[in-house]
């Protein structure tokens, strides 16, 4: 059970990081367009 929680935590953190990177890239692209 402990390993399952650990994997879920790492996966959620990984997804959060990806979302942040995508939002940052999107904002930079918008700034470049303008």
What are the boundaries of each domain within the chain? 1-34
pTM: 0.67
pLDDT tens digits, residue range 11-27? 999 999 999 999 999 99
pLDDT digits (tens, 9 = 90+) for 4-15: 999 999 999 999
CA pair distance 18, 16, nearest whole angstrom: 5
Give how far Cα 19 sits from Cα of 3, 15, 24, 29, 31, Å: 24, 6, 9, 15, 18
């Amino acid at each position: 059970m402990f390993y399952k929680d650990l994997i879920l935590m790492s996966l959620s953190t990984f997804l959060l990081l990806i979302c942040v990177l995508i939002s940052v890239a999107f904002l930079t692209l918008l700034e470049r367009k303008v």
